[in-house]
Each structure stands twice: as structure tokens, then as C-alpha cells.
């Protein structure tokens, strides 16, 4: 859905005018419904955002194949914001300008948060597909953002349950230096503190750190029962897991966030055996029949070595939910979609444990009905092998 | 300090040292701080992983191709970017610096476009069982990196001392103008310096990529590390980058160990400021160069 | 007519006219308003980079920190004090100038590469510091809900703030261009090209450079201030390191021979990142190629060549005439 723009760079002012005149053309006519998609194809979130965006497109194709919504075809209008909070609002305004009924975000949390005021002002509903940051739905300007992933706060509760299930009393947290993770950790730590579980060590390193042996050595000295690696993923996650494998005793249970599960390329980057036994916040299990359906659609849309990730299922679920809302209200006007989303109740999601549902009310845009949107998933060897036996959250 | 920490300092220090040596060769041969060195290393590591994981090349063949890419990039930077700008503007530093910065981003973005924008796993050149050292163990890639670093430094030191071209490189580095007057083949020597520098940077990237993988954005950070190692070590001897690299690694690993995680960024800024203020020409100097 | 054209510097009039045309184009389209505000931010950044870099040959890479100073000063003043928001503009500018001078002083006797390194390290450490001080800076989430600024008792809505931005950027453009042509600018440029000669004539070159660094930092921090005023929020990742490199390339693309080149470069960058970026993932790739091409085969930049074209159309009558006119 890329616009074709003239390369009139010579005279900047005139160039913009020409180019933007071209921009206006692609909008939604009577026969299509525009789904906006703010993605990251060139920045730090490119790795997972591209996977998730592809899933959004596959889900839209599937809906269209089945006859579309209200007899109209869905059309994805997307643009790249590089996960850059200073650029993201501009990208979003442009997409809204093309008549989007709803805007989905597969970009980084920081950029999503920067878009709150944009959605508020334009009165168009926004749907972060992957972000779980509580700040997205906290005032001010939170009326039009709909969170569907299990929030950080609820993830914290789930972790507490997991720690208690394995009798872990002392926890260490390893994180990176990004603002995204700092925001996550704040909420996570509150939940852990409240449950009376002691955090004995807290270390961080830059996302492009050369080495984290120092951090792991300090963690080792604190003698934790379990270690939670809380990063945006990428190289720092691999470095932590590899180093933990070398430095920490065997019996320390390792935990991680969803990032490790959603970046399959990381699995090959880790040393052999480094990920074995790791438990992370997954979101998919074939016990959920709808997840199975999503998997079939995704597998048909991709090549043979495709592995479905949690984000794929969340993307599929988000598209389905929006399609439902539009179908029910009978209109694709943003205001009507907003109203319809607000009355979403007990939507059976395409991820999470079988009884996981998503609901919204006017005052509560934290969609997850409980922590069972989380499926603790365990690594066997170098790949996830399925739901963890020791503990699963309940709704 | 645990043996594992010590091993980490050696490992990371080797990487920093090789990058700094790559900087030093170009600085001597062409009086340019070539900030595109990190991207050469990135390109070599990324291309190797891409060839192995996507096209199924044998590791050694892929590694040779990766090194070749780094060498070609270095040579092209010299011939197509830095030389034309110097020829037009004379000795001014900044235009060349800006051009090199643009080259840095060009290589980064081109690599992202060609090889994809995800992370790639490093490829081990040699596979053998980890060597136990007390309570710690050195893995095959760590041993390979260490041996390669020692070999590279020894070879470069020998080359600078024993070969005619090597001796001339130092002469050019000391005073390009005088070397030109003496009839030394300045242009050829400079070309050799760039090629060697590309080769060493490529090797560094290739051998370090195993640690946590490599991605198209790795280059800028690697450039910074190499530059800092050079500044700390100084430019007075071929061994200076080795000392600078090891010291930088020690600061980077020991400061979070003793003072907590937040300390690393501040510690490096502090060390840099101290060196700039008190000993701007580094630990090992032959003459003060500003 | 020809005399008139040569005697007076028409750049302020021409650029103001171009600016007004741009204003008409922006209209009430929110996306265009965003582009305009971002272009204004980048323009101030590029002008701030222009003074020390192009005029004095000093390259500082701490510009993300200066932007953040300007932005956080406005956000903090607006949310924590009763002072008028404009105070944040001055505080941010002053703090940036002081920082630039301190970092410049630490490396004053060294080659320009050392200033590059120390300023870059500072920018990195500063972002980390912002994240780790939630009480002061709001930590990772930053500061949101910054109220609209009041200027002379009028609330600056997005629509009203756009012309204010135009006047601000244009005014600073005029000032910087005057600075370039004035005595200070001439000495600066001479100190860049032949420092020994300037030193010999009794001017302390290092001090001169420090002044240029400080002034540039202050101008750039205004960019951060207007950005936060317009977007009403800031966090540690609002201004990422890549922006500094963009700022470095802006004056080169637009043309170094006048301060307006920096602004033109900023407009081009906005065009590249938002409009050409959607041609593929390769917006940045195209941009870096463009920078290299300009550096290698068109070093005067766009305005430089327009200037040559202009001189062809309106040739100087004589050297004497010009000196008289100036």
C-alpha cells in the first residue's frame, strides 16, 4: 500500500506540495475500509514489527477472502516510523488523513505512547497489537487507545504466581537500558514487591553491550532462586542468556519476557543449550482452538519454514476483533468503530489460554480479562516446546 | 575477581584492540580517523552469517567472502570518498570526517537492505570443546579470537619493522609532506594501509559476532569502541591499540561489577575526559600529535 | 534594477516569501502542521550545527543533549513551576551553551576528533541519566501533558503556533546569516581556514571557537523547546542519536555558503524521511547516497548552485560596486 510519490526534491516547498497531493489519492473510497498500520521497517523494532505487520496483512487478506466486512474489502495503509517517538505522530496523522477507520501499531511502545494525543485529537481508535505498556492506556489522552495484550501489571501477577509455584523467594532482574524496559520493570517490580518476594539483584546493560559477565557475576553473588531477563530482545537478550548459562548455577530457573519467543532468529544466536529450560511469557498454545485456526491461516500464507509467533496470533486477533466491531455497528466511521470497540465484551481471543477473552468499557481500555492471555512457555533445547507444566495463570 | 570476568576482559579486549589497530593503520597511512571501520567489521560478520544461514555456504568460504567485502569497502572508501575530497579541499579534517560519517550510514543501510534488518548469529570458524581454565572455560570462538588477535598484532609489528613498505608506512604517518618530497610512494602505501585496515576490521567483526550476533546497526558502536581504545592506548606503537583495547575492556566490565550497572556509561565518559584533559595522545606516544 | 538586486541582500525577503508560501500550503491539515513543526525543529538544529561546524570548523555531537535540554527545560517549567513557559526556552538555551563551552574547553587544544568523541559519549551518558532519574525527568516515560504555551495572553493552539514558528526560524535564520557575513563570522571562518594568521593578529582562536560552540548549542536547544511546545510531551528517546548525523548533513545538502542552506537542508531531510521513506525501506539509504553525492560532486549544495545561476542572470557590475554595496 505504498503511495507513489514524485521525487521533486529540488524545490523543497514545491516538492512537498506535489508529493502530498499524491498522498491524498490512496484513501478509502466507498468500496474499501482503510485499516491504518504504523510499523517499523527500518528502526530498532524492525525485526519483530515486520513479522507482526506481515501477520496483520495476512489476517486482512483472510478477512477479504471471506467476503470482507459489510461487503467491503479491507485495505491496509501503512507507513514506517522507525519506532521513533518524534516521528511517529506525523506518520500516524498522515495515515489518519487517508481515511483510516482504525490505526494498528506494531511499532515500539515509546512510539505508541507518543501517538496517544494524536488519536485523541483525531478521535480515531488506535490498537497497539504488541505493546503491553500500561502507560498506553493511562491518562491523559487515553480515550482512544485500546490495549489487547496482557498488561505489564497483569504479567507481574502472573510472574508472582510462577515464582510461588516453584518456591522462588529470591529473584534477580536483568534488564537493558531502554526507556521501554525501564517503564516495564517499574510495574513488574511493584507486583513482585507486593507479593513479598525479595528482589536480591537488579542489573542492566546497554542493548549493544559487548559483555555482561560483570552483571551476571553480581547476580550470582546475590544467590537468587530465579532470574528474570527483562529486555526488548535482540543481542542483549542473547548475551544475557549465554552468559547466565556460563556463570549461574544449573538450578537457577531462568525467566524471560515475550521478546525471546517472538524473535525466532534469536534462538539460533544463543549458544547451544543456553536456552534449555528457559520459561517465557508466551501467548500461544494449541489448546486454544482459535489459535489453531490462526495458525492454519498463517501457515497457508507463509512458506514452509514459517514458525508462528505470539505476535502473529495477537495480530490475527486484533484484525478479527476490529472486523467484528465494524460488522456489528454496521459502519466504518471511526466514531462508530470507537463506540463498537467500547462495547466489546468477552471477545474470544485468538491467543492465550482457551478461556481468555478481551473486553472494553468506556473507562477501561485494558482489554485482557485476566492474566490467562499469558501462556508460560518453556524451551526444550534451542526451541520453545510448549506450555510450561509447573504453572499457568488463570482468569 | 572471578576467572570468568578475567576471560571476558580478554575476549572483549581482543575485539577492541583489533578495531583500534585498524584505526591506527589508516591514521598512520592517511592521517584520517576512519569512522567507517565499525561498519567494515559489521559487514564482514553479517555477510558471513548471511551466506552460511541463508545460502548454505561452508563457513570458511563465507568467512573469506566476508573478509573480501570488508577489504573492498575499505579500498572503495579511500579511493572513491576520502581521496577525492582531500584532493579538492586539501588537508581540512572535517569534510573528510563528514564524508566518512556518511559512508558509515551508507554501509549500514545498504547492509540492512541487502542482508535484512534482523539479528544474525555469528559463525564459529573452528569447532572444538571448550578449554577448562580453573572454574571458567574458554569456548572455541573465544580461543579463536585470542589466537587471531595475538597473530595479527605480531604480524603487523613484524611487517612494520621488517618490510620496506611497513617502514615507509611509519614515515608517511610521521610526515606525509616530507615523505612525498623524499619520493616515497605515498599513494601506494596509503592504499595498502586501507586494505590492511579493512582486513583486520573484517576479521574482528567476523570473530566477535559469535558473542551475541551481529546486525546492520552494530557498526556505529563498534567504531566508537575502536576509537576510544585508540585514544586510550595512544598512537606511539603498534602495541598501543592492544593496551588501549584491554584497558577499555577492563573499564567497561569492571565498572559495572564494582559500582553497579549505571556506572559503565559514566565511567567511560570520565575516562575519556581524563585522557583528553591529561594525556590526549594516549598512554604510549612517540610524539605529540594534535 | 540590476543595481538594486546587487546592492541589497534580498535573502530575508525571498525566504520570508517562501516561508509564507509554505504556511499557505500547511493550512489546517494536521499532517502538514506536523511536518512544518518538525521542519522548524530540524531547521533550528541545523542552524545550531551551522555556526560552529560550518563557520568555525568545530564539530560537536552532543546535539541530542542540547535538544533534550531545550525540551526538558520547557516541559519542567510548564509542569513544575508557575513561571511562564517561555522561561524554559531561555533556561534550556543557557544550559546548552554552558555545556557546549565546558565540553569544548576540555578538548580545546586537541584535534577536532576528540571533541567529536567526548560530545558523543556525553550524549550517550546523558540519555542514560535521563532514564535513571524519574524524580527529576519523569524517567523512561518522560514528561507528558505539557500545557499549551501562552504568548501575550493568547493560548498557542497548533494552528496559532505554526506562524510563530515561521517567524522564529526565519528570524534566527536572518541573525545567523548576518552573523556569517559580519566581522565575527569572518574571523570565525578565517580561524577555521588559517588559524595561525588569526592567532597572530591577536584573536584567541580557542575562545572564538568556544563562543561559536556555545551559540550553536543555544540555537539548537530552541529546536527542542519548540518541539515540546508543539507536541506537549518528551521522553529520553524523543531525540535519538541519528538526528545528530542528519543535522550534520543538512547544511551540506542545502549549501554551506549561506545559513539558509541549513534550513533548506532541514526541509529536504523532512521530505526524505516522510515522503521518500515510503518508497521502500530505503529512505535513509537514498538519503545517505544523496549526501555522499553532494559531498563528492556538488560540494556547494543546492543553494550554492542556485547562487551561481543567480549570478549568471544578474552578474556583478564590478568588484568596486560590490564593496560599495556591502
Return the closest-CA partner of residue A87 out of A131, A40, A50: A40
CB distance C237–A19 less than 8 Å? no
Compute φ and ψ for B166, nearest 5 degrees.
-60, -45
State yes or no: pLDDT of A334 exceeds 60: yes
Residue A90 lies in a domain: yes
Q: Could you tell me which residues come within 8 angstroms of residue B64 by beta carbon, excluding any fewer than 6 positions away?
A: none
Q: Identify whether residues A242 and A355 lie together within a single domain.
A: no
The residue that leads in pLDDT, C279 or C94, is C94
Residues of B in contact with C296 (CB under 8 A): 80-81, 84-85, 99
Q: What is the pLDDT of residue A2?
A: 32
pLDDT digits (tens, 9 = 90+) for C44-83: 999 999 998 888 888 888 999 999 999 999 999 999 999 9
Domains of chain B, with CATH numbers? 3-125+134-278 (1.10.3470)
Q: Point out the residue among C118, C252, C289 whose CB comes nearest to the CB of B272.
A: C118
**Per-residue confidence band for C26, with pLDDT thresholds at 50, 70 and 90:** confident
Domains of chain C, with CATH numbers? 2-319 (1.10.3470)
Minimal C-alpha gap between A90 and chain C (Å): 6
For the entire predicted model, the pTM comes to 0.84
Residues of A in contact with C240 (CB under 8 A): 84, 86
**Rounded Cα distance, A203 and A176, in Å:** 8
In contact, C49 and C247? CB cutoff 8 Å: yes
Q: What is the pLDDT of residue C271?
A: 79
**Per-residue confidence band for A15, with pLDDT thresholds at 50, 70 and 90:** very low
3-state secondary structure of A44: coil
Residue A197 lies in a domain: yes
Neighbours of A348 (CB within 10 A): 16
User: What DSSP state is assigned to residue A145?
Assistant: B
Q: What is the pLDDT of residue C316?
A: 62
Residue A108 lies in a domain: yes
Q: Which domain holds residue A88?
A: 12-149+291-364
In contact, B172 and B189? CB cutoff 8 Å: yes
Q: What is the pLDDT of residue A1?
A: 34
The residue that leads in pLDDT, C241 or C6, is C241
Q: Is B272 on the interface with C (CB under 8 A)?
A: yes
Bridge-based pairing state of the strands A347-348 and A357-358: antiparallel
State yes or no: pLDDT of B181 exceeds 90: no
CATH code (residue A234) = 3.40.50.2300
CB distance C292–B102 less than 8 Å? yes
Q: Identify whether residues A248 and A380 lie together within a single domain.
A: yes
Residue A209 lies in a domain: yes
In contact, B248 and B206? CB cutoff 8 Å: no
Q: Point out the residue among B33, B106, B110 whose CB comes nearest to the CB of C113.
A: B33
Residues of B in contact with A269 (CB under 8 A): 119-122, 212-213
Among chain B residues, CA nearest to C286: B106
**Which partners does chain C have (≥3 C-beta pairs < 8 Å)?**
A, B
Q: Is B121 on the interface with A (CB under 8 A)?
A: yes
**Rounded Cα distance, A291 and A299, in Å:** 12
Q: Point out the residue among A211, A266, A271 whose CB comes nearest to the CB of B253.
A: A211
Q: Identify whether residues A70 and A132 lie together within a single domain.
A: yes
User: What DSSP state is assigned to residue A366?
Assistant: B
Write the CA distances from A156 to A149, A159, A312, A374, integer angstroms: 13, 5, 23, 11
pLDDT digits (tens, 9 = 90+) for A352-365: 999 999 999 998 99
Q: Identify whether residues A32 and A135 lie together within a single domain.
A: yes
Find residues 47-76 of chain C whose CB sits inside 8 Å of chain A: none
CB distance A218–B136 less than 8 Å? no
Omega before B186 within 30 of 0, i.e. cis = no
Structural domain count, chain A: 2
**Rounded Cα distance, A128 and A110, in Å:** 11
CB distance B212–A44 less than 8 Å? no
pLDDT digits (tens, 9 = 90+) for A337-354: 999 999 999 999 999 999
In contact, C148 and C79? CB cutoff 8 Å: no
Q: Point out the residue among C144, C238, C240 whose CB comes nearest to the CB of A140.
A: C144
pLDDT digits (tens, 9 = 90+) for C221-252: 999 999 999 988 888 878 877 788 888 888 88
Minimal C-alpha gap between A212 and chain B (Å): 7
Q: Identify whether residues A89 and A42 lie together within a single domain.
A: yes
**Rounded Cα distance, A141 and A115, in Å:** 9
State yes or no: pLDDT of A10 exceeds 60: no
**Per-residue confidence band for C278, with pLDDT thresholds at 50, 70 and 90:** very low
In contact, A339 and A223? CB cutoff 8 Å: no
H-assigned helices in C132-193: 134-137, 158-181, 183-193
**Rounded Cα distance, A367 and A365, in Å:** 5
What value of ipTM does the predicted structure carry? 0.84
Neighbours of A123 (CB within 10 A): 12
Q: Identify whether residues A298 and A248 lie together within a single domain.
A: no
Q: Identify whether residues A236 and A382 lie together within a single domain.
A: yes
Residues of B in contact with C120 (CB under 8 A): 224
Among chain B residues, CA nearest to A204: B261
Minimal C-alpha gap between B266 and chain C (Å): 6
Q: What is the pLDDT of residue B286?
A: 60
Region of poorest pLDDT, from A95-104, A182-191, B169-178: B169-178
Q: Is C59 on the interface with B (CB under 8 A)?
A: yes
State yes or no: pLDDT of C319 exceeds 50: no
Residue A4 lies in a domain: no
Residue A394 lies in a domain: no
Q: Is B266 on the interface with C (CB under 8 A)?
A: yes
pLDDT digits (tens, 9 = 90+) for B108-120: 989 988 998 778 8
**Per-residue confidence band for A25, with pLDDT thresholds at 50, 70 and 90:** very low
**Rounded Cα distance, A313 and B29, in Å:** 56
Q: Identify whether residues A142 and A164 lie together within a single domain.
A: no
Residues of B in contact with C245 (CB under 8 A): 101, 105
**Which partners does chain A have (≥3 C-beta pairs < 8 Å)?**
B, C
Residues of A in contact with B249 (CB under 8 A): 210-211
State yes or no: pLDDT of C132 exceeds 80: no
State yes or no: pLDDT of A237 exceeds 60: yes
Q: Identify whether residues A249 and A381 lie together within a single domain.
A: yes
Q: How many beta-carbon pairs under 8 angstroms link B with C? A: 104
**Average pLDDT of B48-71?**
95
Compute φ and ψ for B137, nearest 5 degrees.
-140, 145
Q: Is C133 on the interface with B (CB under 8 A)?
A: no
Q: Is A89 on the interface with C (CB under 8 A)?
A: yes
Residue A370 lies in a domain: no
**Average pLDDT of B127-153?**
88
Minimal C-alpha gap between C174 and chain A (Å): 19
Q: Identify whether residues A17 and A118 lie together within a single domain.
A: yes
CB distance A269–B8 less than 8 Å? no
**Probe site for chain C from B26, B39, B77, B101 (most C CB atoms < 10 A):** B101
Q: Is B50 on the interface with A (CB under 8 A)?
A: no
Q: Identify whether residues A379 and A258 lie together within a single domain.
A: yes
User: What DSSP state is assigned to residue C53?
Assistant: I
CB distance C118–B113 less than 8 Å? no
Q: Identify whether residues A221 and A356 lie together within a single domain.
A: no
Amino acid at each position: 500500500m505504498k503511495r507513489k510519490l514524485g521525487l521533486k526534491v529540488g524545490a523543497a516547498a514545491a516538492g512537498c506540495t506535489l508529493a502530498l497531493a499524491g498522498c491524498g489519492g490512496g484513501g478509502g473510497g466507498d468500496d474499501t475500509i482503510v485499516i491504518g498500520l504504523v510499523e517499523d521497517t527500518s528502526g530498532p523494532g524492525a525485526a519483530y514489527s515486520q513479522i507482526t505487520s506481515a501477520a496483520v496483512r495476512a489476517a486482512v487478506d483472510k478477512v477479504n477472502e471471506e467476503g470482507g466486512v459489510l461487503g467491503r474489502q479491507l485495505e491496509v495503509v501503512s507507513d514506517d516510523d522507525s519506532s521513533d517517538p518524534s516521528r511517529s505522530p506525523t506518520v500516524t496523522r498522515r495515515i489518519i488523513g487517508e481515511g483510516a477507520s482504525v490505526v494498528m501499531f506494531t511499532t515500539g511502545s515509546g512510539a505508541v505512547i507518543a501517538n496517544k494525543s494524536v488519536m485523541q485529537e483525531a478521535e480515531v481508535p488506535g490498537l497497539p497489537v504488541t505493546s503491553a505498556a500500561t502507560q498506553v492506556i493511562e491518562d491523559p489522552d487515553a480515550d482512544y487507545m485500546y490495549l489487547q495484550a496482557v498488561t505489564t501489571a497483569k504479567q507481574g501477577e502472573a510472574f508472582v504466581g510462577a515464582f510461588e509455584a516453584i518456591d522462588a523467594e529470591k529473584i534477580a532482574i536483568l534488564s537493558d537500558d531502554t526507556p521501554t524496559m525501564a517503564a516495564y520493570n517499574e510495574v513488574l517490580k511493584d507486583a513482585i514487591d507486593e507479593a513479598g518476594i525479595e528482589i536480591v539483584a537488579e542489573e542492566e546493560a546497554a542493548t549493544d553491550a559487548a559483555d555482561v559477565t560483570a552483571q551476571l557475576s553480581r547476580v550470582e553473588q546475590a544467590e537468587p532462586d530465579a532470574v528474570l531477563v527483562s529486555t526488548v530482545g535482540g543481542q542483549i537478550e542473547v548475551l544475557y542468556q549465554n552468559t547466565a548459562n556460563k556463570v549461574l548455577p544449573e538450578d537457577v530457573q531462568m525467566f524471560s519476557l515475550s521478546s525471546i519467543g517472538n524473535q525466532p532468529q534469536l534462538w539460533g544466536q544463543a549458544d547451544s543449550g543456553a536456552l534449555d529450560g528457559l520459561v517465557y511469557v508466551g501467548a500461544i498454545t494449541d489448546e486454544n482452538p482459535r489459535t489453531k485456526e490462526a495458525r492454519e491461516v498463517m501457515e497457508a500464507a507463509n512458506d514452509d519454514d514459517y514458525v508462528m509467533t505470539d505476535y502473529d496470533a495477537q495480530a490475527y486477533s486484533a484484525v478479527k476483533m476490529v472486523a467484528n466491531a465494524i460488522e456489528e455497528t454496521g459502519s466504518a466511521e471511526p466514531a462508530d468503530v470507537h463506540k463498537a470497540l467500547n462495547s466489546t465484551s468477552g471477545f474470544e481471543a485468538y491467543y492465550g489460554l482457551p478461556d481468555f477473552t478481551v473486553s472494553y468499557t468506556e473507562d477501561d481500555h485494558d482489554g485482557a480479562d485476566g492474566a490467562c492471555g499469558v501462556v508460560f512457555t518453556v524451551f526444550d533445547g534451542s526451541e520453545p516446546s510448549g506450555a510450561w507444566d509447573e504453572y499457568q495463570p488463570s482468569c | 575477581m572471578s576467572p570468568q570476568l578475567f576471560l571476558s576482559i580478554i575476549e572483549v579486549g581482543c575485539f577492541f584492540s583489533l578495531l583500534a589497530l585498524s584505526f591506527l593503520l589508516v591514521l598512520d597511512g592517511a592521517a584520517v580517523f576512519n569512522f567507517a571501520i565499525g561498519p567494515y567489521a559489521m559487514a564482514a560478520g553479517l555477510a558471513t552469517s548471511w551466506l552460511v544461514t541463508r545460502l548454505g555456504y561452508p563457513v570458511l568460504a563465507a568467512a573469506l567472502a566476508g573478509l573480501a567485502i570488508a577489504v573492498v569497502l575499505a579500498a572503495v572508501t579511500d579511493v572513491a570518498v576520502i581521496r577525492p575530497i582531500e584532493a579538492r579541499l586539501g588537508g581540512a579534517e572535517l569534510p573528510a570526517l563528514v564524508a566518512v560519517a556518511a559512508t558509515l550510514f551508507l554501509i549500514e543501510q545498504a547492509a540492512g537492505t541487502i542482508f535484512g534488518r534482523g539479528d544474525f548469529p555469528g559463525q564459529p570458524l573452528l569447532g572444538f570443546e571448550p578449554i577448562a581454565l580453573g572454574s571458567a572455560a574458554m569456548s572455541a570462538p573465544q580461543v579463536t579470537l585470542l589466537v587471531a588477535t595475538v597473530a595479527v598484532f605480531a604480524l603487523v609489528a613484524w611487517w612494520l619493522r621488517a618490510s620496506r613498505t611497513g617502514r615507509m608506512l611509519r614515515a608517511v604517518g610521521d610526515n606525509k609532506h616530507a615523505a612525498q618530497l623524499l619520493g616515497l610512494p605515498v599513494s601506494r602505501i596509503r592504499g595498502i594501509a586501507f586494505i590492511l585496515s579493512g582486513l583486520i576490521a573484517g576479521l574482528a567483526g567476523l570473530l566477535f559476532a559469535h558473542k551475541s550476533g551481529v546486525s546492520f546497526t552494530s557498526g556505529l558502536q563498534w567504531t566508537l569502541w575502536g576509537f576510544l581504545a585508540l585514544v586510550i592506548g595512544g598512537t606511539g606503537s603498534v602495541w598501543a591499540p592492544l593496551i588501549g583495547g584491554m584497558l577499555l575492556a577492563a573499564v567497561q566490565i569492571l565498572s559495572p561489577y564494582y559500582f553497579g550497572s549505571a556506572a559503565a556509561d559514566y565511567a567511560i565518559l570520565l575516562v575519556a575526559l581524563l585522557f583528553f584533559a591529561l594525556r590526549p595522545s594516549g598512554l604510549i606516544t612517540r610524539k605529540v600529535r594534535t | 534594477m540590476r543595481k538594486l538586486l546587487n546592492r541589497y541582500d534580498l535573502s530575508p525577503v525571498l525566504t520570508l516569501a517562501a516561508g509564507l508560501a509554505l504556511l499557505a500550503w500547511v493550512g489546517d491539515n494536521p499532517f502538514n502542521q506536523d511536518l512544518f513543526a518538525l521542519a522548524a525543529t530540524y531547521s533550528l538544529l541545523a542552524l545550531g550545527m551551522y555556526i560552529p561546524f560550518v563557520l568555525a570548523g568545530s564539530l560537536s555531537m552532543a546535539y541530542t543533549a542540547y535538544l533534550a535540554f531545550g525540551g526538558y527545560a520547557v516541559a519542567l517549567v510548564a509542569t513544575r513551576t508557575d513561571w511562564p513557559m517561555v522561561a524554559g526556552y531561555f533556561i534550556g538555551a543557557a544550559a546548552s551553551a554552558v555545556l557546549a563551552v565546558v565540553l569544548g574547553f576540555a578538548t580545546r587544544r586537541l584535534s577536532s576528533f576528540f571533541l567529536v568523541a567526548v560530545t558523543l559519549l556525553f550524549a550517550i551518558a546523558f540519555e542514560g541519566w535521563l532514564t535513571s532519574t524519574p524524580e527529576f525527568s519523569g524517567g523512561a516515560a518522560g514528561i507528558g501533558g505539557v500545557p499549551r504555551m501562552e504568548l501575550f495572553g493568547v493560548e498557542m493552539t497548533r494552528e496559532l503556533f505554526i506562524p510563530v514558528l515561521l517567524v522564529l526560524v526565519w528570524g534566527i535564520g536572518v541573525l545567523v546569516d548576518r552573523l556569517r557575513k559580519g566581522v565575527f563570522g569572518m574571523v570565525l571562518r578565517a580561524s577555521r581556514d588559517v588559524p595561525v594568521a588569526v592567532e597572530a593578529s591577536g584573536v584567541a582562536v580557542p575562545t572564538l571557537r568556544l563562543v561559536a560552540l556555545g551559540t550553536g548549542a543555544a540555537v539548537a536547544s530552541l529546536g527542542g523547546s519548540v518541539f515540546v511546545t508543539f507536541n506537549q510531551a518528551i521522553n529520553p528517546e524523543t531525540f535519538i542519536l541519528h538526528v545528530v548525523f542528519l543535522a550534520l548533513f543538512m547544511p551540506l545538502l542545502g549549501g554551506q555558503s549561506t545559513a539558509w542552506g541549513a534550513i533548506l537542508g532541514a526541509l529536504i531531510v523532512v521530505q526524505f524521511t516522510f515522503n521518500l521513506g515510503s518508497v521502500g525501506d530505503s529512505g535513509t539509504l537514498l538519503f545517505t547516497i544523496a549526501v555522499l553525492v553532494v559531498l563528492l560532486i556538488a560540494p556547494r549544495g543546492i543553494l550554492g548552485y542556485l547562487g551561481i545561476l543567480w549570478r549568471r542572470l544578474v552578474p556583478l557590475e564590478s568588484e568596486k560596486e560590490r564593496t560599495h554595496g556591502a
